[in-house]
Chains A and B, each alone.
Chain A
Amino acid sequence: MTPNIAIVHIETPHWRSIPLWIPLFLLWIPAILLSPFILIVIFGLSIAGKLNPWRTFRVLWDLICSLPGTQVRVTTDGTNVRVRIL
């Protein structure tokens, strides 16, 4: 499944943000609109690199679909940034 939402938390010693829900599924709109160009670029680069374009497309698709579940947390000097991809 493609990533649908990214949740970003930011905390500082003086301020704490509400969790920001970033709707990644909205990226489907520009992705669909630009899909002919994206496909042409992928196919062009694959052919230039002597690769199977379908295989390249599948690998890139797998990469995107495997993103959900990723978490990154960075804490320094009381500041805490947390990003989760669902």
Chain B
Amino acid sequence: MNEHRRQILEMLAAGKITADEAERLLSALEPEAAPAADFNGRIAGNGSADTNVKTRAKYIRVLVEADEYMTGMKGQTTVNVRVPLQFLRAGVRLASLIPKQAHDQLDEALNRHGIPLTLSQIKPENLEELIDHLEDLTVDVDGKEGNNTKVRVFCE
């Protein structure tokens, strides 16, 4: 809770302001660009119908469109995979079970391939944050020079 909010609540508790005044003050603290949304991701609205705002992502979707050049199969191949983010969470937790001896080897191999990631630095308490930030992730890959493969990864 930030300082201003706490001050308002303390003033309300002390009886210096009324509940209505406290509500007005609290709403004034809210950034204009981010209207208050309830747990279902709906805005209370300003007289108009409820509008959907960004809800918490549940799935990660991977779409791949590959041509004959890539697959060696006739015609275009499309792969559409939807994986629950919960599965990803469990997968990352599974990675945390990797023995410490193997961490160094993995880090070295990742660094060799240009991925500056240290697996031992990924702690269970960071996992939630990591997964939460995945919700904003979108990856678009378009092939070029005769390769029409397209890959899209996003959360929904």
Contact = CB atoms under 8 A, between A and B. Distances in A.
A69 interface: yes
Contact of B77 (A55, A65, A75): A75
A70 B99 contact: no
A71 B94 CA distance: 21
A56 B73 CA distance: 41
A30 interface: no
Given A59-B97, A71-B81, A66 B86 contact: yes
A70 B87 contact: yes
A56 B99 CA distance: 12
Contacts of B86: 62, 65-66, 69
Contact of A70 (B71, B76, B83, B91): B83
Contacts of A65: 86, 90
Interface string A48-86: 011100011001101101111111111111100000000
Q: Range of interface residues on chain A?
A: 20 to 34
Nearest to A51: B97
B150 interface: no
B45 interface: no
Given A63-B94, A74-B79, A76-B77, A68 B84 contact: yes
Closest 10 CB pairs of A and B: A66-B86, A77-B75, A76-B77, A66-B87, A62-B90, A71-B82, A63-B90, A69-B84, A73-B80, A75-B78
Interface of A: 49-51, 55-56, 59-60, 62-63, 65-78
Given A70-B83, A70-B84, A75-B77, 18 more contacts: A51-B99, A59-B97, A62-B89, A62-B93, A63-B91, A65-B86, A65-B90, A66-B86, A67-B84, A67-B87, A69-B59, A69-B82, A69-B87, A70-B82, A71-B80, A72-B79, A76-B74, A76-B76
